[in-house]
Amino acid sequence: MKNVLLTGKLICSDKDDVAVVVHHLPLHVELTRAEEGCISFEVNRSPGSLEWQVEEKFRDADAFRAHQERVAESEWGRVTAGMERRYTVEGI
């Protein structure tokens, strides 16, 4: 099995977006780390910016796809849907 690695940035457009991320991120991280197949999951704000560095590692493509499906239907997915993402995915 080949691990899947997602790296990149979540970019907020303003301070209101930052507040949304700050409010919803803890539960999103908790739920993601509890998923079967999640090896690591980190989302950290870049100091003094509207950007968040994202690094995800999943056991395989099936685990990564399951994560993506769960997130798309989650509250996190809904409240951050309009935010810019610049991600690269390796292993699929």
pLDDT reported for residue 76: 97
In this predicted model, what pLDDT tens digit does every residue of 2-42 receive, in sequence order? 999 999 999 999 999 999 999 999 999 999 999 999 999 99
Handedness of CA 61, 62, 67, 72 (dihedral sign): positive
Average of per-residue pLDDT across 81-91: 97
Q: Does residue 1 have a pLDDT over 80?
A: no
**Model confidence pLDDT, tens digit, residues 40-83:** 999 999 998 999 999 999 999 999 999 999 999 999 999 999 99
- Domain range 4-90, its CATH number among 3.30.465.10, 3.30.70.100, 3.40.50.10490, 3.30.70.330: 3.30.70.100
* Model pLDDT, residue 43: 98
| Measured distance CA(17)–CA(21) in Å, rounded | 6
Give the span between the Cα atoms of 11 and 82, in whole angstroms. Answer: 10
Residues 57 and 15: their CA atoms lie apart, in Å, by 28
